[in-house]
């Protein structure tokens, strides 16, 4: 700890840079890095190497080998490269490897050298070949820029949404540019290129010559250029060893440096930290590394072996055969604490804590010093912040211990920042382990976010670690654990060496009922891998039937899909399957399938009823549902215009009903046919509409029109019950006012009342009827008379309700009470008497003696009990004046 | 009044540049507008109408824009029809997730009258999803229900589907305090009897007589005693109506006359007023009095009209018959009353209703009556009712006593043996044969016929039976009462067996400290297939007695006539 600042190198007055080893590389490379195509993904990503790429000889044994390593040099995968000549390798933002071939084809591989897809950069590139290529990342995604053999640029800003752009030509360009870079300014992607001493800017439409401000005229030709991670800064290296550093807009110079090394550097990259004012570039030659910034001095390192620079958000990673180092500017918090003789509160706190551990009273002195300045909260925050920038767990711990110590002396110091830092560091240390090999710094981690980090772990198939992290950070299940488990399961189904059962079981064991897991997605993956059986097994675990059905249909398991759809209770889903089945199966099997699924069947029936009535018939035919078939025919008879058609349809219905052993329906339909035929005759004979009337109405109409014979005929033919016929005829005759016929009728026929009523009252009724007959005539005359006068004086002639109501009794009259009421009727006016008598007839005909029951409440006041009066609606109509009580 | 009127009436629509409103029918339109917007229920028939309209336009070489808005949701079958008719490309579709229409403070209707026929007759489950979504909506508004009860297959399915939806949606209702403590789901087929009875509480009578549509009624000239009809919104805002809606009709007149006297007295007050008081009176009270006056005269008119109509038919006799049926006395006489009712062509709907009531209380008609009543009916009202009878048989409203008596026994035995799901299928299969009502047994077990000595005081009722003149306690309400009392189905096993089971009760917030007493008193009763105003009145009464507050969610307000109409197979 004493020599903590040993590897700090000052640059200028304020800034320090340090270089430390992340990993000793595990990869034991035989080749030199310069013989390989190298690509390392930012944010501590994997490294891709293409060996033997330089040699052009065609011997098959010397096929290039594509290898992918983790940042610690552990081999993730390797394949012999069998495709065309590669020009460039690059990584996408989602850590897929882009292999750019000479012919402009770009092949995409995943982290494990599994081929994903490919695309082409267009015909122009194909013809002229790729000279150089660059992969760049903007807010649009990952882009590819290509310099063709014809010295033209083609680029796409997003390989996932491929739109090729051909940049305008640079006038008079004969040889390839010495260096070029892709810039992204205000969401526009442009290319900056240098030819000799000239700089050209290519945008979508034009090519313009630019001069960086403050560029010394004697600078010479440009050899290298570097764009910073955030596209804000640009550095140019000329053949006089002069370095110009400025904004990439070329509007402002930041600083310059003269390296006095004239040979072209191998690589030049920016080394900056977000929110830091310090800007520096790292320039690498074969054996020399130089950090140059806003100072006349520079920092120089000697390189023992071939190295490769990887620009990062907050520094530069340096790869070589044996080691993997990180070079960065010391953040302010660390500087404050660790700078020699620093009196910053953080430094004092760290010191205090150390003394405290030594049980020295100096701890109190230091602490008091900070407290006197009231800087303890700052001291604690400083220690916490600085801990994040440290790579060594020991240093992190001592800083955190100091923070925790300082916290004790502050009231209500919010603990979140401390806790979060502890958690973050724990996660970072876990992933920095060489077996995982993701050397993420705290700054990068915050920029990347935990979600993306988890995604990357999942991509590397580090499921257990990812889940541990989720659990440790208490991420919500859907965001964290279950998402990872789902990915795991999707990977699991691709393992072909295990049986379906084993895999399904293993997956279910792990996943269980974790919320947010979509078994159907996993099953879909299994199906994509050609494991249908496994997919079905997995679908069994899917709780939402709605998700199962589409996949089952896709897998042609329609019947299973149907039952799942029904279980879901979603009729739309059932319809989807049913209509799918209809197209897939032949009619017979289709119907058979439906037979076993009543829910689906009734839904389909609903559909057919409106849309395909013929199918409905077939459906009933298929399963010998004669009852429904009969109903169907009856129904279709309605739409028939002609009588013959209607009769035909009904005849079919009769047959069906007989087959269904529904004799009642068959008989009723036969009667209907008979009636229809009769009605047609009647219609022809009398030229009046009879069709579609019910039997009752037909007979009634016949009587109304005076065709008594015909009515009689129907009465016999259809065996109309006497009771009905009696009612019907009386009321029809009364409506017609045919009293002659009424009399005839009453004489010719034995009254059905006689059959129905109890003995004595029946007789009485008969008597009453005779008397009624006698008295009806005057009524009739009277009415005609009144009609002649023009219908006036109505109210006076109607029986006054007050008089009638008491006469009929307040309680529902039984036979006994009628006896009592009857003699009083004699006192009434003759017309009223007739009316009352008619009521009495009705009373006998109707089953009066009804059980009252204790619960019988009926109508009480204010509704007077007068419904018995109305009983004899038909009879009442005999008496023209007899109006119902209001 | 249509549900749309309740939400956006014509003038609002006009403000939003709706040119003209049409009913979607099987008829070509003569509109000159170049944009059509169809706001429809997802029915296949409607789709065909729309397709016809579009095809007609195409033939005539007209080009219009068409938009179909499905409410409450789009069905795949509808799109299929549009596709088959070749107009799918011409329309754009949208959904209006309209599930709940509050008709009153305590009544929410889904306005899906077709639910009854579609589910109970056709076995079409399409609306269950809507019910589940409606529940989800309520749940999201009022927090989770802590206790759920239900009876019936549809109730169970709706409940389960809703639970699934809840799980999928992962809404954060977890921490919310429940505002509605209990939910009770009930299938209409648990209790057909109550729905088939004539209603005698005022609101029910108004519904039976004038048809309340969407909480509003059209009073015709005979009520308004003028030559035009008036649309009246019937809800608790109506001060007169809210006081008489739940009353037995016999008490209504007394109340109305009392009210009119009060009103007169208030009018009379102005006699002794000086100028200032008069000014006050005119500016503050007069308007309210006038309003009340208007309502009062309307309701008196309605009462008169009801009486006129009811006395035209032999209502008293009919009620008596109904009561005999409910009690199981004098079945023969009731049967012949029904027969006569049919013979005299009193009313096709009423006849059918009485037949169904007879069948369902007697567990099916004896074969002789079954045949003869049907024959009589066909002769009276036309042979097309053959299909109606078939429907009624299928749904179990009008059946024949047969060797099938043992069916339920077999069914329940089988269902005990196999799993729930399979049992569902079996019940489906049996459904088509017959459903036994076992009304008599249930009635005895639950004491649905109150034994009272002397007069039943309808003005000061003791139990829910008052909604049927003290003759019968509505079964559906009794079940709810019993379950709420026991807080479970325990002790009702025998009744459940007779009701064909399918009950469930779930406590959701298990382990939590007892939720607020207030919310425990609130019960959301969900009627799948419709509920009647009598049931609402009965439960309101129960609520008053026991300190509950009931909120009603129903697929639609129903009554006996609507139920029968749903069963009638029309020509067309």
- A644 burial level (CB within 10 Å; 0-12, 13-18, 19+): exposed
Residue B78 has φ and ψ, to the nearest 5°, of -65, -45
Which are the contacts of A741, defined by CB distance < 8 A and separation ≥ 6?
A706, A708, A733
Best mutation target, B121, B316, B335, B393, to test chain A (most A CBs within 10 A): B316
Provide the angle, in degrees to the nearest 10, between the axes of the packed helices A519-528 and A545-554: 10
Cα separation values, A435 from A26, A318, A470, A481, A874, Å: 10, 19, 19, 22, 103
Of B316, B380, B383, the CB nearest to A859: B316
How much is the ipTM here?
A: 0.80
Nearest to B469 among A599, A603, A857 (CB): A857
Q: Is B21 on the interface with A (CB under 8 A)?
A: no
pLDDT in tens, B391-417: 999 888 898 886 544 444 445 444 444
- Per DSSP, A885 falls in state P
Chain B residues inside the 8 Å CB shell of A728: 343
A858 → closest Cβ in B80, B123, B316 = B316
Per-residue pLDDT tens over the stretch A607-645: 888 777 888 888 888 778 888 888 888 888 888 878 888
In A, which residues are within 8 Å of B45 by CB distance?
610
Indicate the pairing of strand B107-109 with strand B549-554.
parallel
Q: What is the C-alpha to C-alpha distance for residues A864 and A441, in angstroms, rounded to an integer?
A: 96
Shortest CA gap A877–chain B (Å): 13
Chain B residues closer than 8 Å to A696 by CB: 345, 379-381
B550 conformational bin, left if phi > 0, alpha if psi -120 to 50, beta if neither: beta
The per-residue DSSP string of A215-264 comes to --TT---EEEEEE-TTS-EEEEEETTSEEEEEETTSS-EEEEEE----SP
Cross-strand bridge partners of residue A192: A181, A201
B250 Cβ contact list (under 8 Å, min separation 6): A857, A859, A860, A861, A862, A863, B458
pLDDT single digits (tens) A255-294 = 989 988 888 999 999 999 888 888 899 999 988 999 998 8
CA B330 to CA B321: how far, in whole Å?
Answer: 9
DSSP β-bridge partners for residue A204: none
Residue A21 — φ and ψ, nearest 5°? -85, 130
Which of B124, B128, B317 is nearest residue A603 as measured by Cβ atoms? B124
CB-defined contacts A:B, below 8 A: 222
Whether B20 has its CB under 8 Å from any CB of chain A: the answer is: no
Q: Is B331 part of the contact surface with chain A (CB cutoff 8 Å)?
A: no
Instruction: Please give the pLDDT value at position B171.
Output: 59
Nearest-Cα distance to chain A for B316, in Å, is 6
pLDDT of residue A266: 92
Flag if B344 and A874 touch (Cβ within 8 Å): yes
CB nearest to B129's CB, from A569, A856, A868 = A569
Region at A594 (left for phi over 0; alpha for psi -120 to 50; beta for the rest): alpha
- Tell me the CA distances in angstroms from A623 to A592, A596, A654, one per residue in order: 8, 11, 18
Residues of chain B numbered 107-166 and touching chain A (CB < 8 Å)? 118, 122-126, 128-129, 132, 157, 160-161, 164
* Torsion, CA B318, CA B322, CA B328, CA B331, rounded to 10: 30
d(CA A221, CA A240): 8
Does residue B454 sit at the A interface (CB-CB below 8 Å)?
Answer: yes
Q: What is the pLDDT of residue A787?
A: 38
Question: What is the reported pLDDT for A789?
Answer: 39
Q: What is the dihedral of CA A885, A742, A728, A684, to 10 degrees?
A: -130
Q: Which of B118, B314, B323 has its CB closest to that of A867?
A: B314
Rounded to whole angstroms, the Cα distance separating A285 from A305 reads 11
Task: Scan residues 225-254 of B and list those with Cβ closer than 8 Å to A.
Answer: 248-250, 253-254
Contact A855/B44, CB-based, under 8 Å?
no
Sheet of B65-70, strands arranged across: B35-40, B65-70, B91-95
Burial of A624 (0-12, 13-18, 19+ CB in 10 A): exposed
- pLDDT in single tens digits along all 572 residues of chain B: 788 888 888 888 888 888 888 888 777 777 778 888 999 988 888 888 899 888 888 888 888 889 999 988 888 888 888 988 889 888 999 999 889 999 999 999 999 998 999 888 888 888 888 999 999 999 888 888 888 999 998 999 899 888 888 877 765 555 667 788 889 999 998 899 999 999 999 999 999 999 999 888 988 888 887 888 888 888 888 888 988 999 898 888 888 988 889 888 888 887 878 888 888 888 888 888 888 888 888 899 899 888 888 877 678 888 889 999 998 888 889 998 998 888 888 888 999 999 999 999 988 888 888 989 998 898 888 888 888 998 999 888 898 886 544 444 445 444 444 444 454 554 544 444 445 568 888 898 898 988 877 778 888 888 899 999 888 999 999 999 999 988 888 888 888 888 887 888 888 765 455 556 677 889 999 999 999 999 999 999 999 999 999 999 999 999 999 999 999 887 65
Taking the C-alpha atoms of residue A844 and residue A759, their distance in angstroms, rounded to an integer, is 10
> From residue A797, how far is each of A649, A791, A880, A884, B54 by CA, in Å?
55, 11, 9, 12, 62
Strands A47-51 and B101-102: unpaired
Rounded Cα gap, residues A153 and A141, in angstroms: 19
Taking chain A (886 residues) in consecutive chunks of 10 residues, what is each chunk's mean pLDDT? Answer: 78 89 88 86 91 58 83 91 89 92 92 90 89 91 92 91 89 88 89 90 89 85 91 92 91 89 91 88 92 90 90 92 92 90 89 91 89 89 92 92 91 90 94 91 92 90 90 82 82 79 80 74 81 81 76 81 80 84 83 82 82 82 83 84 86 89 88 88 85 86 85 86 82 82 74 42 40 40 38 38 34 35 33 39 35 34 33 35 36
Question: Considering the entire predicted model, what is its pTM?
Answer: 0.65
Residues B52, B53, B54, B58, CA torsion sign: positive
Sequence-separated (6 or more) residues with CB below 8 Å from residue B111: B3, B101, B214, B556
Residue among A176, A167, A218, A171 at smallest CA distance from A197: A218
The closest of B102, B343, B347 to B209, measured between CA atoms, is: B347
Residue A155 token pair:
């680029």
């Amino acid at each position: 700890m004493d020599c903590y600042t040993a590897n700090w190198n000052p640059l200028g007055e304020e800034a320090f840079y340090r270089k430390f080893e992340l990993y000793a590389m595990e990869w034991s490379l035989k080749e030199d890095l310069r013989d390989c195509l190298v690509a390392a993904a930012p944010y501590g990503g994997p490294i891709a190497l293409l060996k033997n790429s330089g040699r052009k000889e065609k011997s098959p044994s010397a096929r290039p080998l594509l290898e992918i390593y983790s940042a610690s040099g552990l081999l993730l995968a390797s394949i012999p490269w069998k495709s065309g000549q590669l020009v460039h390798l690059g990584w996408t933002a989602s850590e897929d490897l882009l292999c750019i071939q000479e012919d402009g084809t770009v092949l995409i591989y995943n982290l494990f050298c599994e081929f994903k897809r490919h695309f082409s950069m267009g015909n122009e590139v194909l013809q002229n070949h790729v000279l150089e290529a660059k992969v760049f990342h903007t807010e649009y995604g990952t882009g590819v820029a290509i310099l063709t053999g014809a010295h033209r640029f083609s680029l796409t800003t997003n390989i996932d949404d491929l739109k090729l752009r051909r940049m305008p030509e640079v006038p008079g360009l004969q040889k390839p540019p010495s260096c070029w870079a892709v810039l992204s300014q205000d969401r526009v992607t442009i290319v900056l290129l240098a030819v000799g001493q000239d700089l050209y800017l290519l945008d979508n439409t034009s090519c313009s010559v630019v001069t960086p401000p403050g560029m010394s005229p004697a600078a010479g030709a440009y050899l290298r250029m570097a764009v910073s991670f955030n596209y804000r800064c640009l550095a140019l290296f000329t053949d006089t060893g002069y370095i110009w550093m400025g904004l990439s807009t070329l509007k402002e110079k930041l600083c310059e440096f003269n390296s006095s090394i004239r040979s072209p550097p191998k690589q030049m990259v920016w080394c900056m930290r977000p929110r830091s004012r310090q800007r520096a570039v790292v320039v690498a030659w074969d054996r020399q590394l130089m950090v140059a910034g806003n100072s006349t001095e520079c920092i120089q390192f000697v390189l023992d072996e071939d190295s490769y620079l990887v620009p990062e958000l907050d520094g530069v990673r340096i790869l070589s055969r044996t080691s993997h180092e990180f070079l960065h500017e010391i953040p302010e918090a660390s500087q404050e604490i660790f700078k020699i003789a620093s009196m910053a509160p953080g430094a004092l706190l760290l010191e205090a804590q150390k003394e405290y551990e030594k049980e020295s009273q100096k701890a109190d002195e230091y602490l008091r010093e900070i407290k006197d300045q009231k800087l303890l909260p700052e001291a604690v925050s400083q220690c916490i912040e600085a801990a994040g920038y440290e790579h060594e767990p020991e240093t992190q711990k001592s800083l955190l211990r100091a923070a925790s110590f300082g916290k004790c002396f502050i009231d209500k110091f919010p603990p979140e920042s401390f806790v979060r830092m502890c958690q973050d560091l724990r996660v970072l240390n876990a992933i920095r382990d060489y077996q995982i090999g993701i050397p993420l710094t705290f700054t990068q981690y915050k920029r990347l976010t935990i979600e993306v980090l988890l995604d990357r772990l999942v991509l590397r198939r580090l499921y257990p670690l990812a889940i541990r992290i989720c659990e440790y950070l208490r991420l919500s299940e859907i965001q964290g654990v279950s998402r990872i488990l789902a990915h795991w399961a999707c990977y699991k189904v691709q393992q072909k060496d295990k049986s379906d059962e084993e895999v399904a079981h293993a997956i279910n064991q792990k996943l269980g009922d974790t919320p947010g897991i979509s078994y159907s997605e996993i099953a879909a993956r299994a199906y994509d891998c050609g494991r249908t059986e496994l997919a079905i097994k997995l679908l069994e675990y899917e709780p939402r039937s709605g998700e199962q059905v589409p996949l089952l249909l896709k897998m042609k398991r329609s019947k299973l899909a149907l039952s799942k759809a029904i279980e879901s209770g979603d009729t739309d889903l059932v319809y989807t399957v049913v209509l799918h089945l209809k197209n897939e199966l032949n009619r017979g099997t289709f119907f058979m399938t439906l037979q076993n699924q009543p829910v689906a069947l009734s839904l389909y029936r609903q559909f057919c009823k409106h849309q395909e009535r013929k199918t409905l018939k077939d459906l009933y035919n298929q399963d010998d549902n004669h009852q429904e078939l009969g109903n169907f025919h009856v129904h279709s008879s309605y739409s028939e215009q002609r009588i013959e058609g209607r009769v035909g349809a009904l005849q079919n219905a009769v047959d069906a009903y007989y087959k269904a052993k529904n004799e009642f329906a068959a008989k009723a339909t036969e009667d209907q046919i008979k009636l229809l035929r009769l009605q047609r005759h009647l219609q022809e004979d009398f030229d009046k509409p009879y069709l579609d009337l019910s039997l009752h109405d037909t007979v009634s109409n016949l009587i109304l029109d005076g065709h008594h014979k015909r009515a009689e005929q129907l009465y016999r033919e259809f065996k109309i019950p006497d009771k009905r016929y009696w009612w019907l005829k009386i009321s029809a005759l009364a409506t017609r006012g045919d009293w002659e016929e009424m009399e005839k009728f009453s004489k010719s026929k034995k009254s059905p009342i006689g059959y129905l009523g109890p003995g004595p009252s029946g007789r009485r009724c008969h008597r009453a009827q005779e008397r009624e007959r006698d008295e009806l005539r005057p009524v009739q005359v009277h009415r005609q008379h009144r009609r002649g006068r023009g219908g006036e004086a109505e109210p006076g002639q109607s029986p006054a309700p007050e008089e009638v109501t008491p006469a009929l009794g307040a309680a529902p009259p039984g036979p006994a009470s009628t006896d009592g009421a009857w003699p009083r009727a004699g006192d009434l006016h003759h017309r009223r008497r007739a009316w009352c008598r008619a009521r009495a007839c009705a009373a006998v005909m109707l089953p009066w003696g009804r059980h009252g029951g204790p619960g019988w409440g009926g109508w009480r006041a204010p509704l007077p009990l007068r419904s018995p009066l109305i009983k004899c609606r038909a009879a009442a109509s005999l008496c023209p004046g007899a109006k119902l009580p209001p | 009044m249509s549900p749309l009127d309740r939400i956006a009436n014509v003038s609002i629509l006009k403000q939003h540049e709706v040119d003209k409103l049409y009913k979607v029918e099987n008829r070509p339109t003569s509109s000159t507008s170049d944009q059509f917007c169809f706001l429809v229920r997802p029915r296949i028939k409607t789709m065909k109408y729309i397709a016809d309209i579009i095809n007609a336009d195409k033939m005539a070489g007209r080009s219009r824009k068409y938009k179909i808005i499905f409410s409450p949701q789009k069905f795949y079958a509808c799109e299929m029809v549009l596709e088959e008719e070749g107009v799918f490309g011409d329309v754009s579709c949208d959904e209006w997730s309209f599930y709940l229409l509050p008709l009153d403070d305590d009544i929410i209707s889904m306005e899906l009258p077709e639910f009854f026929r579609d589910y109970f007759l056709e076995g079409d489950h399409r609306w269950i999803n809507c019910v589940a979504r409606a529940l989800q909506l309520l749940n999201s508004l009022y927090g989770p229900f802590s206790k759920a009860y239900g009876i019936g297959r549809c109730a169970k399915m709706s409940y389960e589907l809703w639970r699934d939806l809840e799980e999928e949606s992962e809404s954060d209702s977890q921490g919310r305090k429940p505002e509605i403590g209990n939910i009770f789901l009930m299938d209409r087929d648990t209790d057909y009897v109550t729905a088939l009875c004539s209603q005698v509480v005022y609101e029910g009578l108004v519904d039976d007589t004038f048809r309340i549509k969407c909480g509003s009624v059209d009073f015709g000239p005979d009520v308004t005693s003028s030559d035009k009809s008036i649309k009246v919104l019937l809800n608790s805002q109506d001060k007169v109506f809210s006081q008489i809606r739940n009353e037995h009709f016999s008490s209504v007149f007394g109340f109305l006359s009392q009210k009119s006297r009060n009103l007169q007295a208030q009018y009379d007050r102005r006699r002794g007023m000086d100028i200032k008081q008069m000014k006050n009176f005119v500016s503050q009270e007069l308007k309210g009095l006038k309003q009340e006056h208007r309502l009062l005269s309307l309701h008196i008119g309605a009462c008169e009209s009801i009486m006129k109509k009811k006395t035209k038919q032999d209502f008293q006799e009919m009620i008596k018959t109904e009561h005999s049926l409910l009690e199981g006395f004098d079945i023969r006489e009731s049967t012949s009353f029904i027969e006569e009712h049919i013979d005299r062509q009193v009313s096709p709907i009423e006849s059918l209703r009485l037949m169904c009531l007879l069948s369902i209380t007697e567990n099916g008609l004896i074969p002789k009556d079954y045949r003869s009543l049907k024959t009589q009916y066909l002769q009276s009202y036309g042979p097309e009712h053959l299909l109606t009878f078939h429907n009624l048989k299928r749904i179990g409203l009008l059946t024949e006593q047969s060797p099938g008596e043992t069916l339920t026994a077999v069914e329940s035995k089988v269902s005990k043996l196999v799993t729930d799901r399979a049992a569902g299928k079996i019940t489906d299969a049996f459904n088509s044969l017959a459903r036994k009502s076992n009304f008599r047994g249930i009635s005895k077990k639950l004491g649905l016929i109150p034994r009272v000595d002397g007069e039943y005081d309808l003005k000061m009722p003791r139990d829910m039976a008052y909604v049927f003149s003290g003759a019968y306690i509505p079964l559906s309400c009794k079940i709810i009462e019993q379950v709420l009392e026991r807080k479970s189905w325990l002790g009702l096993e025998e009744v459940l067996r007779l009701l064909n089971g399918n009950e469930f009760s779930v406590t959701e917030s298990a382990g939590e400290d007892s939720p607020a007493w207030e919310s425990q008193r609130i019960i959301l009763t969900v009627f799948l297939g419709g509920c009647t105003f009598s049931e609402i009145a009965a439960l309101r009464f129960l609520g008053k007695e026991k300190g509950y507050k009931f909120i009603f969610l129903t697929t639609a307000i129903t009554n006996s006539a609507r139920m029968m109409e749903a069963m009638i197979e029309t020509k067309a």
